[in-house]
């Protein structure tokens, strides 16, 4: 295997890991904003909320806790953990090849 190929796969792995990290940060930021009762009329809060809703579309309503904060923490938190685990697993796999 040539060094050039190895460098390409390392950078591809890094890109995948960084994207997974950014996705998890957006989700974590929304959880924090929700728990701190951020002003939903604020443009930044709206942007983060919309992005988090899109990223966690598959897990948002997965749990039916009575408390709204628990639904947010577990629904969006699950998505963040899944993106981190899968993203870093794929990145590691790309770096090995």
Q: Write out pLDDT tens, residues 39-88.
A: 999 999 999 999 999 999 999 889 999 999 999 999 999 999 999 999 99
Mean pLDDT computed over 30-47 = 98
Rounded CA-CA distance 69/91 in Å is 32
pLDDT the model gives residue 2: 47
Sheet strands (E) in the chain? none
pLDDT the model gives residue 8: 60
Residue given tokens 């998890």 in the structure block: 24
Question: Which one is predicted more confidently, 62 or 6?
Answer: 62
Rounded CA-CA distance 86/96 in Å is 15
- pLDDT higher than 80, residue 3: no
Longest dimension (CA), the chain: 56
Rounded CA-CA distance 54/46 in Å is 12
Lowest-pLDDT choice from 6-10, 19-23, 31-35, 50-54: 6-10
Number of neighbours of residue 36 by Cβ within 10 angstroms? 7
Question: Which one is predicted more confidently, 85 or 97?
Answer: 85
């Amino acid at each position: 295997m040539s060094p050039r190929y190895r460098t390409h796969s390392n950078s591809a792995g890094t890109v995948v890991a960084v994207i997974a990290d950014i996705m998890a940060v957006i989700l974590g930021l929304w959880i924090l904003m929700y728990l701190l009762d951020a002003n939903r009329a604020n443009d930044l809060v709206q942007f983060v909320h919309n992005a988090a809703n899109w990223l966690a579309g598959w897990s948002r309503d997965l749990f039916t806790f009575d408390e709204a904060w628990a639904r947010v923490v577990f629904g969006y938190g699950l998505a963040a953990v899944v993106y981190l685990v899968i993203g870093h697993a794929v990145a590691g796999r790309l770096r090995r090849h």
